[in-house]
Structure 1
Amino acid sequence: MSAAPKIQGWCPGALRPMQSGDGLLLRAKTIGPRLAAENALEIAAIAVSCGNGLIDLSQRAQLQLRGVAETKLREAQQRLHRLGLLARDAATESVLNFIVSPLAGFAKGAIDAHGVLSQLVRELSEDAALLALPGKFGFLIDDGGPLGLAEVTTDIRLEAYFDNGAARVAVVADGARDQAFIVSPEAAAATALALARAFLSLRKGREFELRRMRSVVAAFGLDAVASAAGLASAPYRSSCRAAGADEIFGAHALFAGVGAPSGRFRAGDLAFLAGLAAKYGAGELRLTPWRAILLPCRSEKSAREMIRAAASRGLIVDADDARLAVVACSGAPECPQALRATRGEMDRLAPLARRVASGGVALHISGCAKGCAMPAPARITLVAREHGFDLIDNGRAGDAPSLTGLGPKEIEDAIEARITRADTKPTGAAMSGASSYIRDGAAIYARSFAIIRAEARLERFAPEEERVAVRIIHASGMVEVADDIIFSPGMARAASAALRAGAPVLCDANMVAHGVTRARLPANNDVVCTLTDPRVAALAAKGGTTRSAAALELWRERLDGAVVAIGNAPTALFRLLELLDEGAPRPAAIIAMPVGFVGAAESKEAALADGRVPVVIVRGRKGGSAMAAAAINALASDEE
């Protein structure tokens, strides 16, 4: 039986490096995601002259230099100091742990993330009592801009939050994400640090056992944490979203997203990316918790140039790259805790792993039971043992295995078997020939919804929101759209109540109106679309706008308390917000799901930020009449 792996309880720094199997592991610690191109060049040079030339981008969005020699440590520290990347002492370095929206300060966010971050850094550096925080205790700031951090876990979250149109901050303790301390941006840092001090107070005498906020919340309850902090929490439903791989990797309007397998870059790769940032971009790199580096720029053309160049070096530039389906720790011999090499398996198993799941990490390869590379469950986890690998289904590295002692061929066979099982599972019995397809409509519905609930990430939705999300996914055929569905607080309840009270449904397009199932409406509600009204063409010409926007002029007398469904035209949604500015009556709720490449994403973000009317949106370019109608059908009835 293998000995239990040693838990260090802290992360390597520049002033307190960690001894590893290939030398010292040293973290070039940045405060925030931004890294100037010239600093990235120098870090690459340090990695070559003082280490073994390998650089890991961690889940904490930090660069770690591997194989640093004892004799070169002082030189590496001095050079990092000249870059401003060395804390005043090891104790201070240990507590400055932050994950921040990767594009903060470059792309528009709802709050000033850097302002909040500066306050946290100042207080953590000056308050000696806070130096007692554990080395892995961290803070996350999501400014509400692009590339949300919903799936990134840390001890204290600070999330942009809109309260009646005003930007606020929801401070959330890990372990109780359904509650928050809602404060102004100016009070956010102080509130987060009050929670940190409460954490320290409650864990006294149990320091080794209670090393993270979630364990303190589990041991004492959030009310005890709030009381110790002198705060009062409120029920909270986060609008923070999880960025998808297709949003991170590749060429985008504001950046190029580049990765490396399990975040392992060579020094030459980092130097090359720094050169691209200087030539085509904004002269900086942004570090992310997804083991990807973003190169900000001002045009998609520049982003495409950088992506083409990065692809020529074999870096990951596409969300469909099979290498993204596998994550592995450094393994043996680099990690003293690891029982076997892990990274040699990655390229061989990546194509199989991508067949296990079409998106995200499907296979986690861990050198020991700690599972450092991926704390969350994976579809398949391989854990190194003395006599091969154990295989765990839908779990973490420390969970009980389904299979033990597997060799390379046995691993492949086991993964193939799971793929085959998944391919045949939906129909229950083997199907042969066209005559075997499912004919029963109710059975098709039930099976469809079961598949959606098995595959989509629905955990963050309240029950009344989940029904809407499931219907939207069903209408679009895209389980990944769940990550883009955002409800403002209370939206689903407000819309359902309005429909039960007889509110009309106002639609921007006939396709939305035709998609509403009348039998589901609870009060024989009117479903109205004014787009084909004979007056609309003249109104559009007079206003110099689209017919979809002009048609809303005919809604004014029915807007009060109505449920609005916009599934086609961004101009209609923008015009609705203008009508509210002009004093038009407020509807009860808005389904904001226009689709397209011009104005769709912006109109939906504007509706969410407005705050005057509860709203549900599908972020980005996605949307459409089918999604909007599906949302109405879900809100109209509790029946599946």
Structure 2
Amino acid sequence: MNAFARRGACPALSAPMQTGDGLLARLHTIAGGLPPRALIGLCESALRHGNGIIDVTARGSIQIRGLTPSSAQALAREVDALEIDVRTGVPVETGPLAGIDAGEIADPRPLASEIRNAIEKAGLAARLGPKVSVVVDGGGRLPMDAVLADVRLVASSSGWLLSTGGTAASARRIGIVNDAQACIAAIAILEAVATLGREARARDLADPHRIIAAIPLSARPERSNPQAPSTAASITMFPLADGTLALGIALPFGSMPAENIAALAQGAIALGVTEIRPAPSRALLFPGMNGDACDTLRDAAASLGFITDAADPRLSIAACPGAPACGSGRIATRALAERIAARHADLLDGSFTLHVSGCAKGCAHPAPTALTLAGHDLDDHDGGAGIALDATARAPAAEAHVVADAQAGIARVASLVQHMRHPDETVAACLARLGAAAVTTAFMQGRE
């Protein structure tokens, strides 16, 4: 626990990463879920040793923030005491409803376990970089299409579709392998990546087809365009194979106070829930309930501030912790994001993600977005925010494009869009048509 991860690595319990709000530790359970009492215990540990904020990440991991070197060690000991089986080594991930989804094509858990064991036997964890990962997707209501992976195996009626590098949409498709060959093919790809060094990823492989040339492919993959599920897709009731339902709710901007999560877990216990599953897209799933119990828990979640409506405008905003939680934050991102969602829901039509970043790092959404607000210093050293279109948080860094009152600035942008938007035009299309100059001018009007 005395080694800290560099930024860009994976901040596991054994190597928490330094961030602007202290050390950050991430854990991903091997079994996919947590008993509610274990989650309550984890929340209590976060309150004792961190800043009391818990995240669920886009990959479905749990993050605890605000740790110190000594408190991170105490947290790791308490996680062990809670008997939480935390994943180590190369991530081999399955979907959040793996093994219980009524619409699943195949249970991915046996193959995932076989691949984990083979990785350990081959000693690959020490030879691969910290971000190399494998996805084994059994299909169903919550596919793993949006999750980046170096090796992806997706269940089909004729076997497992093998692809390498990227998301389901961007990966290179190799072919269909049968159950007996799927693990062998995955390990062959990982071995090839390892030969290129610890900085390598599967996208760096020149010819993945040649690597598995000796493995028979039962079919060539059909071309398709997988649509990555949005966070909204997780906010519903899911039919399960045993005839019960799973309720999905989301965390606003991926974070909630630990005491709120603990309170919801306590309510789930009262309704007979025995497992809570973190899900990609920053959600939590509560399986094993009937419809009435789902309604009761959903009402409790809403009262605690969770997102329970797939149309909630907060789902269209990515916001980091910001000030005052993060020392790098120049603006109170979460408070600003909440106000924007409450006052300008029409701007957040789901056609784009509004990125509200506390600084130029852009931790909440590293990729460009249609509209970005980023915190920066002003002359008097108070925090202001700049705006940019189709850019990352680094774009609006020039002080000339920074205003002290970002809420007023975005209100002017919302008004511009309202007046200029064509019938049936999405907000993203309207912003693109208006262009950066017009949107920036509206944002900057009235600057002191």
| TM bracket (short chain) | 0.7 to 0.9
Q: Within 1, Cα distance between the matches of 2:35 and 2:257?
A: 18
Deviation of 1:243 after TM superposition, in Å, equals 3.1
Deviation of 1:415 after TM superposition, in Å, equals 5.8
Residue 103 (1) aligns with residue 102 (2): no
Q: Within 2, Cα distance between the matches of 1:64 and 1:414?
A: 30
Q: Within 1, Cα distance between the matches of 2:183 and 2:343?
A: 45
Q: Which letter maps to 1:113? A: P
Q: Within 2, Cα distance between the matches of 1:313 and 1:277?
A: 13
Gaps of 5+ in 1: 1-5, 428-447, 456-640
Question: Contact 2:234–2:250 (CA<8 Å) still a contact in 1?
Answer: no
Structure 1 345/255 Cα, relative in aligned 2: closer, same or farther at 3 Å? Answer: same
SS of 1:195's equivalent? helix
1:600 aligns with none
385, 391, 406: which one aligns with 1:389: 385
How many aligned positions are there? 409
Structure 1 269/141 Cα, relative in aligned 2: closer, same or farther at 3 Å? Answer: farther
Structure 1 404/285 Cα, relative in aligned 2: closer, same or farther at 3 Å? Answer: farther
Q: Which letter maps to 2:72? A: L
Q: Which has the higher contact order (CA 8 A, sep 6+)?
A: 2
Q: Which letter maps to 1:160? A: A
Deviation of 1:231 after TM superposition, in Å, equals 6.2
Residue 113 (1) aligns with residue 108 (2): yes
Structure 1 269/149 Cα, relative in aligned 2: closer, same or farther at 3 Å? Answer: same
**Map of 1:263-282 to 2, 5 A cutoff?**
263-282=254-273
SS of 1:137's equivalent? coil
SS of 2:297's equivalent? helix
1:256 aligns with 247
Deviation of 1:230 after TM superposition, in Å, equals 4.5
Deviation of 1:401 after TM superposition, in Å, equals 7.8
TM-score (norm 2): 0.80
Residue 346 (1) aligns with residue 347 (2): no
Deviation of 1:358 after TM superposition, in Å, equals 1.8
Q: Within 1, Cα distance between the matches of 2:150 and 2:345?
A: 31
Q: Within 1, Cα distance between the matches of 2:257 and 2:231?
A: 22
Q: Within 2, Cα distance between the matches of 1:258 and 1:317?
A: 5
Q: Which letter maps to 1:96? A: V
Q: Within 1, Cα distance between the matches of 2:43 and 2:399?
A: 41
The structure with the largest helix share of the pair is 1
1:213 aligns with 202
Q: Which letter maps to 1:195? A: I
Deviation of 1:117 after TM superposition, in Å, equals 1.8
Question: Contact 1:378–1:394 (CA<8 Å) still a contact in 2?
Answer: yes
Question: Contact 1:62–1:287 (CA<8 Å) still a contact in 2?
Answer: yes
Deviation of 1:303 after TM superposition, in Å, equals 0.8
Deviation of 1:56 after TM superposition, in Å, equals 1.1
- Deviations for 1:89-130, whole angstroms, at most 9, x for unmatched residues? xxx83x332442111122131112111221222223333233
**Map of 1:259-408 to 2, 5 A cutoff?**
259-332=250-323, 334-335=325-326, 338-351=329-342, 354-359=345-350, 362-387=353-378, 388-398=384-394, 405-408=401-404
Gaps of 5+ in 2: 240-244, 379-383, 431-448
Question: Contact 2:164–2:172 (CA<8 Å) still a contact in 1?
Answer: no
Deviation of 1:22 after TM superposition, in Å, equals 3.4
Question: Contact 2:347–2:427 (CA<8 Å) still a contact in 1?
Answer: no
Deviation of 1:326 after TM superposition, in Å, equals 1.4
Q: Within 2, Cα distance between the matches of 1:9 and 1:245?
A: 24
Deviation of 1:384 after TM superposition, in Å, equals 2.7
Structure 1 136/81 Cα, relative in aligned 2: closer, same or farther at 3 Å? Answer: same
2:193 aligns with 199
Q: Which letter maps to 2:53? A: L
- Deviations for 1:448-467, whole angstroms, at most 9, x for unmatched residues? 8x979969xxxxxxxxxxxx
TM-score (norm 1): 0.57
398, 404, 413: which one aligns with 1:417: 413
Q: Within 2, Cα distance between the matches of 1:33 and 1:157?
A: 18
Residue 143 (1) aligns with residue 138 (2): yes
- Deviations for 1:270-320, whole angstroms, at most 9, x for unmatched residues? 222322332225311111111111111342221111101111212211112
177, 190, 202: which one aligns with 2:171: 177
Q: Percent sequence identity over matched residues?
A: 28
Structure 1 18/244 Cα, relative in aligned 2: closer, same or farther at 3 Å? Answer: closer
- Deviations for 1:485-538, whole angstroms, at most 9, x for unmatched residues? xxxxxxxxxxxxxxxxxxxxxxxxxxxxxxxxxxxxxxxxxxxxxxxxxxxxxx
SS of 1:170's equivalent? strand
SS of 2:34's equivalent? strand
**CA RMSD of the aligned region, Å?**
3.3
Deviation of 1:240 after TM superposition, in Å, equals 5.1
SS of 2:355's equivalent? strand
Question: Contact 1:393–1:402 (CA<8 Å) still a contact in 2?
Answer: no
Q: Which letter maps to 1:226? A: H
Q: Which letter maps to 2:372? A: T
SS of 1:320's equivalent? coil
Which stretch shows the higher mean deviation, 225-234 or 245-254? 225-234
Q: Which letter maps to 2:142? A: L
Q: Within 2, Cα distance between the matches of 1:270 and 1:24?
A: 21
SS of 2:263's equivalent? helix
Q: Which letter maps to 2:202? A: M
Deviation of 1:229 after TM superposition, in Å, equals 4.9
187, 192, 195: which one aligns with 2:181: 187
Structure 1 314/169 Cα, relative in aligned 2: closer, same or farther at 3 Å? Answer: same
**Map of 1:613-628 to 2, 5 A cutoff?**
none
Deviation of 1:370 after TM superposition, in Å, equals 4.0
